[in-house]
Amino acid sequence: MTVLDPDRVTVRVPATSANLGPAFDCAGLALAHHDVLDFSVAPSGLVVEVHGVGAGELPTDESHLVVRAFRAACDELGWAPSGLRVSARNAIPQGRGMGSSAAAVVAGVLGAWALCPDVEAIDLDAVLRLTTEMEGHPDNVAACLFGGLTLSWTGDAGVGADSLPVHEDVLPVVLVPDATLSTEVARGLLPELVPHADAAFNAGRSALLVHALTSGGLLLEATEDRLHQRQRAAAMPASLELIDRLRAAGHAAVVSGAGPSVLVLARRTVRDAGRPAGEQELGDVTALVPDGWSVLPLDVDPTGARVSREAREVSSR
């Protein structure tokens, strides 16, 4: 007969783009571009395999971020597996502002929660809390966990998040350069204080952003920012130059997360002379992208991280 294997689980985690212009540290978008990781309990030791993005570059010992997140969740659960095997098939670019570290943290924590024999179900509130502690802010991990347009916040009761569906007309296009950028370096360029007028401006644009992404309109106006993009231009001048060109041409372009990738919130229903929906704007965006950048038109991932188990055949005797 066929049963679910209790000692093996697969976790699929999406790429994410945070901030989305004005909503610094409190909004993220899940993208249909995934890392897929297999976790299994082994008799002893640790084996880490990395395929795809990061193969031959990422560590394969206890310092691997997925393993560190798995161990942190095990500590939370009071469980110590005899051994661990992790096989990662990575597609999310590393160090490009597409949430690769958030995906790794979410995958590791979910993998531990799903494999732990002492729990019946994954506690998503606890997973959000732990992954936020590891990342330092909830925007990417919340979007990775819950999918869609995810709003997140912290308060006296801890961290919270809620996900909203994105209008079907919105087409995220990620423009990925060859260069990488450390999130720590990018955040280090931000000033400790900002003018009240700029804070008020971004608060208004953040509210408009929710309307724009759920209605499919006003995307250019809703993605204006005064708090973090210009302040980090020295670390990614080519990204800001590209954003300026795109926005001058009417495209809703922003820094993706901490950069240096650029996110364009294009529209699927733009038509010109009978061309297919969305083809005109995507073509116009691509024409403005310099050599050496990749263009990734992606769907929104509406569901976020997913955990599945493999079936195996066992004797019925």
In tens, the pLDDT along 60-111 reads 999 999 999 999 999 999 999 999 999 999 999 999 999 999 999 999 999 9
Query: Distance (Å, rounded) from C-alpha 237 to C-alpha 270?
Result: 30
**Where residue 278 sits, what CATH number does that domain have?**
3.30.70.890
> Do 26 and 156 fall within a single domain?
yes
Percent of all residues in the chain with a pLDDT value above 70, rounded to a whole number: 93
pLDDT of residue 37: 98
By three-state DSSP, how is residue 58 classified?
A: coil
Asked if the model's pLDDT at residue 294 lies above 80, the reply is yes
> Can you give the pLDDT at residue 116?
96
Q: What pLDDT, on the 0 to 100 scale, is given for residue 279? A: 63
> Do 241 and 154 reside in the same domain of the chain?
no
Residues 52 and 80 in one domain: yes
Q: How confident is the model at residue 125 (pLDDT cuts 50, 70, 90)?
A: very high
Stronger pLDDT, 234 or 14, i.e. the higher one: 14
Whether residues 64 and 210 share a domain: the answer is no
Q: Which residues contact 198 (CB under 8 A, 6 or more apart)?
A: 226, 227
Of all residues in the chain, what percent carry a pLDDT higher than 90? 80
Mean pLDDT of 35-49: 97
Please report which confidence band the pLDDT of residue 276 belongs to, taking 50, 70 and 90 as the band edges.
low
Tell whether 13 and 151 lie within a shared domain: yes
CB 152 within 8 A of CB 138: yes
The pTM is what?
0.92
Dihedral angle sign, alpha carbons of residues 163, 157, 25, 210: positive
The residue with greater pLDDT, 243 or 193, is 243
When pLDDT is averaged across residues 48-56 and rounded to a whole number, the result is: 97
Same domain, 142 and 179: no
pLDDT-derived band at 311 (thresholds 50, 70, 90) equals low
Query: How many independent structural domains does the chain possess?
Result: 2
Q: Could you tell me the pLDDT band of residue 312, with boundaries at 50, 70 and 90?
A: low
Same domain, residue pair 153 and 194: no
Compute the distance between CA of residue 111 and CA of residue 95 in angstroms, rounded to an integer.
23
Which backbone phi and psi does 272 adopt, to 5 degrees?
A: -150, 120
Residues 82, 217: one domain? no
Residue 3 has pLDDT above 80, yes or no: no
pLDDT at 16 over 90: yes
3-state DSSP call for residue 155? Answer: strand
Across residues 246-250, what is the average pLDDT? Answer: 96
What pLDDT sits at residue 179?
A: 85
Domain range for 196 is 170-297
Q: Please indicate whether residue 18 or residue 187 has the higher confidence score (pLDDT).
A: 18
Residues 6 and 35 in one domain: yes
Q: Which tokens sit at 264? A: 């364009």
**29 Cβ contact partners less than 8 Å away, ≥ 6 residues apart:** 16, 17, 18, 20, 143, 148, 149, 150, 166, 172, 213, 263, 300
Candidate from 184-198, 231-245, 266-280 with smallest mean pLDDT: 266-280
As given in the structure block, the two tokens for residue 194 are: 């900002």
Would you place residue 278 in the very low, low, confident or very high pLDDT band (cuts 50, 70, 90)? low
Model pLDDT, residue 120:
86
Same domain, 159 and 206: no
Q: Looking at the structure, do residues 20 and 140 belong to the same domain, yes or no?
A: yes
